[in-house]
Structure 1
Amino acid sequence: MFGQRQTRQRRKSPTPPPMTRDEALRISQGLGLLERSQPPAPLLSETDDDADNNNEWEDIPEVPCTHEEIRPDSPGDQYAKHQRSLRHAEARARNQSKWMALEAQLTATYLHLQSFTQNWTKQNSYLTNEIKCQCPPEKFRRRCVDFVDILSHARKRRVTFCDCVPDVIRLLHLGYIAGSPHFPRTAFSIRLLQFQHHLWNHTSISISGFIDALMSFLDVQCPSRLTPQQIKGNYKKNTDAQAKDIKLRELYPDKFIGVLYDIGCHLGAHIAKRLWLQNRYQNAVKVLSEAQSALTILYGTTNPAAPGQNYSAEFFRGQWTLEREAYSSKEAILQRQKLELGRLLSLKEELDTAWTMLTEIVLDRSLPVITAEQSIVRLRTTAELQEKIEKQVARVGTANVPVDDEEEAFLKLWYSKHEVGLRFIAICEEKRPLQQSRSDGHSSNLGHKGQTNLLLAVRRHTVQLMKIVDTYRTRRAEYHAEYPHRQLPEDIEYTELLHIKADHPFWNDSLFTKIDAPWAVDPKTRLGMQQIAYADRAKEELRRLGWEARRAMRWATTTHHRNLTTLLALQSDEPDLALPIVSHQTLSHLPPQFRRSAAAVVIKNAFVKITNTQLLWHEGLLEVFSRTQSQTGDEELKRTWDSQLDHISKLHEEEFREGERLQIQNGVKFKVKFNAEVTKPKSMSIIPRS
């Protein structure tokens, strides 16, 4: 409410309690959706004389009382739920409108009291600063309010309210924020809400869980709950536990957890965020160094594609251009059509295998007779395969493609290897989220459920990949047995396939594409092309990181200068210097003499935040700034940055030397290197208290 923070989505409102059957039945009957049940008529005796003369009991048949039930999804039940949700939404809207009506006055009062009480750190900041109003005694009303603090819980404390000051504002003067805008019954201390605000920004914890833990803690701290016997018992219990803990640490020194899992994960993530720019810079330098070392070795190696010459950067870049052109040429389109033909032939082989198996089962009477369900499944499978073949024929262009047996086996082998590559890439894509969450500067957002689903998907792709690898090896062996004189692609096992990289010779398809260019067949050429790409990308990364570092430094120095200038203007006696912020609509609810101090609270908090940010960024930004390509205005930017950091260091030294909280004071002139003379405070606190 009183400062900017990260936004979070509002939690969904709790589900209202379900309506009882009797209530839903009554609403349905009132709306005319159900008929009202009539009570059974009483049974009459045949004659009154018989009833008078007969002293024995008369047997009356029991008539069950029928109550018409109502379904949970009936119109009456739905109408009742809808009306209840509308009333709940209207109540929330009314409550929200009341808070919005008080927001400006509440904010202005908060800023004024934050300055007056030094951020509620004075001894008399709580429950002592009551408002003195001029209302007559009959206008006062006393009401009990529960005050919840971080160290105590005062139940049913009587507070005096009146009509001239809203209840929320009166409680704020006492150091508490009301739980509701109208007739509050509960109030929470400022320091408790400030603590919860910082906890909420740095950890993931629910408000309800925080309140439950706080109330449990305050209940335990209540003096009335601890008798001397209980205190003695608790002390003995705690000392015994500590003694046992020391003994266990001696026996099992490596079995104790140092940092909790959740805390460790959060610490690692935030530390990685702090060093994001520096880590990116160091990674770019490392990649560039490794790429240049590999290229230096290649530049001293003879190039077989150019006799008498060594590899060069121009040769690698030229091969990269030829590779891109080759994949967009007509020859590449023809190769893709052949690959589609290999897929068509593979589907045809599957169809023939299915029909052969069906025929053998029908003709061989020694085998068990297939059932009708199995026959339907096999017919459906063959029909699906036939449909796929027809679609592939339409894509290729003709069903009567003139190919011999050798070419057909060769194309099917090519398609099998191509499918191995596709499945391998699918597994890499499934693993990518997990690998990315483990890299620097990233935190895993998969969770237990997400990791479980990811592992299941990887297992499904793994089973498919194993089958495809077996098919590829089988077709390779069959092709080698039929045509031993032909060159074969590289053989590979499934376990070996999982450990190879994208530049492994197994993925080279030059045997099938008939391309013998250096970029397709020469491993050193492909390595050089890859290292050239790494070096270019690392140089571009360093250039962009230099821009980012300078942009961050300019933003920080500009914000520092603007906040300091505004803060000094608020402390000066000239009325026109701080007029824009003092005349803000929110501060109009305060008396004129209090507006400058309230505005100074906001500006000082922003100034403290930017100085802490500069101290945090200083080491990493200067490393990137000094080791990247210089730009126009670097000297002035560096001079301004160093001047501001020196100023911040002096403020820290004065704070530690005096040993007390220092306030901004006037009267001394100094020159900060902002190309302008400003008023220097004698001392300045960078502790965010006021």
Structure 2
Amino acid sequence: MVNSPGRQRRRPIRSNTIIVRVSTVHASRRSRNAAARSNRRREAAEQADIDEAIQLGRRLGIILPQTATGIQAAPPSNTENRQEPLFGSYFDADIRDEWADSPIATHAEYFRLRRYAERRETIAQQWAELDNEATAAYLYNQQSTSNWTTPAANPSTNLSRCVCASKDISERRVDMIDIIHRHGGLLVKFCKCTPDVIRLIHYGYFACSADEPRTAFSIRLVQYHHFLWQASAVPASAFIESLSSFLDTRTTSPLFNRGSNHKRRELRVPFTLCIDLYNRILNKSRKIYEDGLRFTSIDKWASKCPRCFGPILNEVRNPGEATVHLSMDGNFQQRHYAHSSKDCPVEDQYPELFLHPSKITTDIEQLAATDAVATGINPPCSETHKAANDTRDGSTWDKCDDNGLFASTCRHDVPLIIANIHKTGEKLYYPLSIIRNFLVDFPDYKVGVLYDIGCHLEAHIKKRNLLSDRIADLQFGTSVFHAYVHEWSCQVKYNPRFNDGWGLTDGEGLERFWLFLSPLVSTLRVSTRLHRLTSIQSRAEYYSAKLTSSTADWLSKKSSDCTETIKSSASILRQLHALPNPTTPGTNYTNTFFERQWDLERNYHLNINQTREKARQELGHLLCLQEELDASLRRVATSTEQAISRAHACANIAIQIRNQRITIGAHALIDNLNSVQSDLLWKVWYSKINIRQQFLALAEERQPLRQACRIGEHTTLGTRASTRLMDSVRDRGRALHAAVDAYTARVLAFRAACPTRHAPPTMTYAELLRLQPDDPFWNDGLFTNGNEPWAIDANTQRGIRFLASLKRGEEEHRRLGWEVRRAMCWATSCHDAIWGTMRTMAEARHVNTTPLPQAVLPLVCHEALDSHSSMVHRMPGAPQQVQGTSHKFQASTIRSQEPRRILQVHANTQQVPANRCQVPSLVVVHARLIELARLQVEWDGKIVEVFEQTPPQAGDVELLQAWELQISQITRAMRNGHLSGIPGDIHEQLLFPNGRPRSPSPEDHESDSDTHGNRHNSSDEAELVGHPDEGNDNIENRPEDDDDEDEDIEPLFQQLMDEVLLDNLTRATS
């Protein structure tokens, strides 16, 4: 074809990488061939480079040998082994391209996550290095500023106390955010002698970064959020958004990101870092208190629940009666999405309430080693509970890494131990680990364990020979409100209302605890794993504190309930005692008769032949099927095929019945009944079993409607879920109604065939819905024991139940007496310990004792306060004035010699002078005294009433006298305004209501007489009870002409001491 002169024809030459277009206009064949050869050479060079890159990737391990066969290799077709989505987001597998499955992408993702983990670990390490200093600085400034009710240091002022050179002082703009105002980009000076985080605490702010913070939130704002979050679980994002909107209306300019004039700052992440710092300070303060007062493991348990773990004195218990009761249960709402974070908390980071994974691993290995022994364990109700054979694992919730929680509480609902469920279901090793670790701290306790499948748990523990050294100290039971799902033979042994030692404990404390944690479900699913654990820990501590504060109300209510139970049960028993007993003519019912019948019933169910009973029930099932098929045969068949199908079904059922009769043998007949009568009885038995199954199905469907909801809400379900649930409930109700009708018809047929034998009771649908789990209707004993009073006599059955109720009420009344005395004894002993510690420290400060008494050394010299203890000797007023020297000479020697000597003495011999190093420790102890005093005042009244109503014990007079004495001291201090609610604001009259003790020397006594009873408002003098005695020993021998000189030297001395303070802080930091 000849081209026109005005047109150009372009021929594309395609390659693997680029598209080259070669113009053929006015070009000869030779030039076109040369261009083509050049293209081929270029393509060959590119392919060689690609092959070389592939070989290099293989040698480095980036590319697997089998994955790269060429540049155009098709992506792998196997989608099952796709990599997890990138950190921080989740992409659906269907929209990911082939690049996501590339080994290079996997390699890049691995190093990206590794760098993120290393960065996270570095930040955590930076904060950990500052935790002790931050705690000491927080406690010191909490006292000096009266918990930040008075202004702290101004961050915009010069560093008057800094001893750094000018080149070591830098300025940085920091966004300072308070609860009522906000300063964006405030210029703050920092230096090298004091960490930025510590300096901001002295200014009254928490830094948001351990290294060069650019944002800080006021301490009082973080404190307020802490109390608000405890009460309402408000998310940090919602709180900070509302705060920002509020502060926007109080400032002239909004807060923008650095380098931007329109994008507002996102403060959620910085604020959560401040929250984490504050929580660590609170944990450190609690540890200082526990270590300083030498808490044992029992003391720490008593702080969680004084009613269970308080001091046990002079208690008289029945043999085998449990000292404490534990409840256990699992929850799978508190899950965590794997894509939300990739952090993996180590054991040191696990909160105190959580069980360390290493302690669970031991039980996992032990259970795996005994799997062969556990073959054949099948309690009668194990199939009813999913937890009994929980096969759920990581594939059940493929998007989750932490699938839920397994926890234990005491009978007062206080959470004791929590296990994190990681990629499994409700396995046996979780309750086993909790029991094992709990028993370690209580070698002499007998423990009652309530679990939804307590029967299954005990069977495994005994069959596998677990906890063999403590099995005699354990008593197992099922929770009361889950008892209805257990077979009657199981309830006889494990229902707390039927068995001795349980009182009125219901075992449902976990349900209430899960409800309290429910507001955290949505936020914790997308938080980091460590934040999830710490948030649950903090929420559980608040929950425990609320339960402890309501101790007196709880005891009073339980006392009223058990008194009412005793009265009502005794009244019904008296009515039964007036009735004649048909079993023994000429006598009435007695408690002895009821007890004997209960023993017979219990022995029967404990020794029952499960195989024979199941065979009889199966025979009843087949007979019911045959009856239904016979009824269908009487109806006209719609087709020949249907008639043939019915005939075949009847023949098959007849064969199965014949085989089942052969299997049962002679046991197919009972109580002198003929074959027809026995068949009618077995059909009634199966019909009753069918009623129970339909009843449980209906109860399970109605459970979401009956569960407790939050205040102000009618249900936790949405509109659509409620509609679907109501439809399902109606379907279950119709099935149950049909089962009741069938049961009633078969009972009437049996009565007609056997008029002389006691027939099972009839039941209407409305009556069935009102039945209690322990109603005698669920007792199947009459089908096999037709002549026993406990199986057929209604009055005997009522007597057995109400006699058990009477015993449980009496047990509860006795246990309440133990618990009220444990709580009062714990409160009085803690009060004496705290009060004595504070008095010892105050007296040591008053007489300037060096060294401090051994009783307070663990508190003052705690490792968390080392930074403060080492720097306090350079603070104003710490060194004592040497006799015959002036202030000017003393000030000149402080900087060069004295601090180093005191620091060395403290580090080697713990010869701690009694000065302001006690301030942080006093703040910690005083805060506990405030909490305990409020607790005792809140308890007083109702707790004394319960104390007087319960059975007396030895030592009651002394305990009540100690309680009343402490209450009178607390109320007098509150009335006189001496018991301040501010930690560290200690009045002298609080510890010495009758005045200070006499000083050991006349000079000290004379000095005390001049200053006794005065309280100064300055932070230096208000740090401890009383006034410092330094420099006052020879005050009368000082010449009068030195007064003016002293007045001139005092400001210089103050400035020098301030500089020494920061210099010592620098040394402590390094």
Q: Are the aligned partners of 1:655 and 1:662 in contact in 2 as well (CA < 8 Å)?
A: no
Distance 1:329 1:585, change over 3 A: closer
Moved more, 67-76 or 307-316: 67-76
Moved more, 444-453 or 572-581: 444-453
Match of 2:960 in 1: 638
Distance 1:319 1:445, change over 3 A: farther
Structure 1 counterpart of 2:717, from 448, 456, 459: 448
Match of 1:345 in 2: 623
More helix by share: 1
Match of 2:949 in 1: 627
Structure 2 counterpart of 1:588, from 858, 866, 882: 866
2:17 partner amino acid: Q
1:363 partner amino acid: T
Q: Are the aligned partners of 1:145 and 1:155 in contact in 2 as well (CA < 8 Å)?
A: yes
Match of 2:161 in 1: 132
Measure, in 2, the Cα distance between the counterparts of 1:521 and 1:544.
35
Match of 1:153 in 2: 182
| Number of aligned residue pairs | 581
Q: Are the aligned partners of 1:113 and 1:173 in contact in 2 as well (CA < 8 Å)?
A: yes
Measure, in 2, the Cα distance between the counterparts of 1:395 and 1:436.
45
Whether 2:208 is the aligned partner of 1:168: answer: no
Distance 1:625 1:462, change over 3 A: same
Match of 1:307 in 2: 585
Moved more, 99-108 or 295-304: 295-304
Distance 1:394 1:137, change over 3 A: farther
Partner SS, residue 43 of structure 1:
strand
Match of 1:462 in 2: 733
Report the CA distance between 1:198 and its aligned residue: 1.4
Report the CA distance between 1:491 and its aligned residue: 4.1
**Residues 349-364 of structure 1: pairs in structure 2 closer than 5 A:** 360=637, 362-363=639-640
Structure 2 counterpart of 1:654, from 976, 989, 992: 976
Distance 1:615 1:277, change over 3 A: same
Match of 1:665 in 2: 988
Match of 2:930 in 1: 608
Measure, in 1, the Cα distance between the counterparts of 2:154 and 2:635.
89
Measure, in 2, the Cα distance between the counterparts of 1:79 and 1:664.
65
Measure, in 2, the Cα distance between the counterparts of 1:344 and 1:444.
48
Match of 1:95 in 2: 123
Report the CA distance between 1:607 and its aligned residue: 0.9
Q: Are the aligned partners of 1:305 and 1:518 in contact in 2 as well (CA < 8 Å)?
A: yes
Residues 153-210 of structure 1, C-alpha deviation per residue, up to 9 Å, x if partnerless? 1100001112221111111111111000001010011111111111222221112221
Measure, in 2, the Cα distance between the counterparts of 1:386 and 1:73.
61
Measure, in 1, the Cα distance between the counterparts of 2:198 and 2:837.
28
Whether 2:597 is the aligned partner of 1:319: answer: yes
Distance 1:184 1:548, change over 3 A: same
Residues 363-418 of structure 1, C-alpha deviation per residue, up to 9 Å, x if partnerless? 27xx9x99xxxx9xx99999998998799679647999997445434422332133
Structure 2 counterpart of 1:180, from 209, 217, 224: 209
Measure, in 2, the Cα distance between the counterparts of 1:555 and 1:320.
40
Measure, in 2, the Cα distance between the counterparts of 1:86 and 1:383.
69
Distance 1:486 1:362, change over 3 A: farther
Distance 1:108 1:487, change over 3 A: closer
Residues 64-86 of structure 1, C-alpha deviation per residue, up to 9 Å, x if partnerless? xx999645455444444443333
Structure 2 counterpart of 1:559, from 830, 841, 844: 830
Measure, in 1, the Cα distance between the counterparts of 2:747 and 2:122.
76
Match of 1:471 in 2: 742
Report the CA distance between 1:546 and its aligned residue: 0.9
Measure, in 2, the Cα distance between the counterparts of 1:390 and 1:184.
85
Q: Are the aligned partners of 1:147 and 1:187 in contact in 2 as well (CA < 8 Å)?
A: yes
Partner SS, residue 182 of structure 1:
coil
Distance 1:159 1:486, change over 3 A: closer
Measure, in 1, the Cα distance between the counterparts of 2:249 and 2:648.
71
Distance 1:49 1:385, change over 3 A: same
Measure, in 1, the Cα distance between the counterparts of 2:755 and 2:563.
50
Measure, in 1, the Cα distance between the counterparts of 2:794 and 2:190.
86
Measure, in 2, the Cα distance between the counterparts of 1:380 and 1:159.
93
Report the CA distance between 1:215 and its aligned residue: 1.0
Partner SS, residue 42 of structure 1:
strand
Q: Are the aligned partners of 2:817 and 2:951 in contact in 1 as well (CA < 8 Å)?
A: yes
Match of 1:31 in 2: none
Moved more, 571-580 or 618-627: 571-580
Partner SS, residue 206 of structure 2:
strand
Match of 1:228 in 2: none
Measure, in 2, the Cα distance between the counterparts of 1:587 and 1:622.
40
Moved more, 160-169 or 85-94: 85-94
Q: Are the aligned partners of 2:669 and 2:675 in contact in 1 as well (CA < 8 Å)?
A: no
Structure 2 counterpart of 1:296, from 574, 584, 607: 574
- Please provide the CA RMSD for this pair: 4.9
Partner SS, residue 448 of structure 1:
coil
Report the CA distance between 1:301 and its aligned residue: 3.1
Q: Are the aligned partners of 2:616 and 2:668 in contact in 1 as well (CA < 8 Å)?
A: no
> For structure 1, which runs of at least 5 residues remain unmatched after alignment?
1-35, 53-65, 226-261, 673-678
Match of 2:555 in 1: 277
Partner SS, residue 160 of structure 1:
strand
Distance 1:213 1:79, change over 3 A: farther
Q: Are the aligned partners of 1:564 and 1:607 in contact in 2 as well (CA < 8 Å)?
A: yes
> For structure 2, which runs of at least 5 residues remain unmatched after alignment?
1-14, 32-71, 76-96, 255-515, 520-538, 874-914, 997-1007, 1016-1021, 1024-1070
1:586 partner amino acid: A
Q: Are the aligned partners of 1:131 and 1:170 in contact in 2 as well (CA < 8 Å)?
A: no
Q: Are the aligned partners of 1:277 and 1:545 in contact in 2 as well (CA < 8 Å)?
A: yes
2:216 partner amino acid: A
Whether 2:526 is the aligned partner of 1:547: answer: no
TM-score by length of 2: 0.47
Report the CA distance between 1:114 and its aligned residue: 1.5
Residues 556-590 of structure 1, C-alpha deviation per residue, up to 9 Å, x if partnerless? 11111111111122222334223221111222212
Q: Are the aligned partners of 1:111 and 1:601 in contact in 2 as well (CA < 8 Å)?
A: yes
2:960 partner amino acid: K
Measure, in 2, the Cα distance between the counterparts of 1:682 and 1:390.
100
Report the CA distance between 1:479 and its aligned residue: 6.2
Whether 2:24 is the aligned partner of 1:45: answer: yes
Partner SS, residue 187 of structure 2:
strand
Partner SS, residue 48 of structure 1:
coil
Distance 1:71 1:327, change over 3 A: same
Match of 1:119 in 2: 147
Measure, in 2, the Cα distance between the counterparts of 1:361 and 1:206.
65
1:110 partner amino acid: Y
Measure, in 2, the Cα distance between the counterparts of 1:379 and 1:160.
98
Moved more, 525-534 or 634-643: 525-534
Residues 487-529 of structure 1, C-alpha deviation per residue, up to 9 Å, x if partnerless? 8654444334323456778667676445233323332222222
Q: Are the aligned partners of 2:562 and 2:812 in contact in 1 as well (CA < 8 Å)?
A: yes
Partner SS, residue 587 of structure 2:
coil
Measure, in 2, the Cα distance between the counterparts of 1:610 and 1:358.
79
TM-score by length of 1: 0.71
Match of 1:218 in 2: 247
Partner SS, residue 192 of structure 1:
helix
Q: Are the aligned partners of 1:437 and 1:443 in contact in 2 as well (CA < 8 Å)?
A: no
Partner SS, residue 20 of structure 2:
coil
Q: Are the aligned partners of 1:347 and 1:388 in contact in 2 as well (CA < 8 Å)?
A: no
Report the CA distance between 1:478 and its aligned residue: 6.4
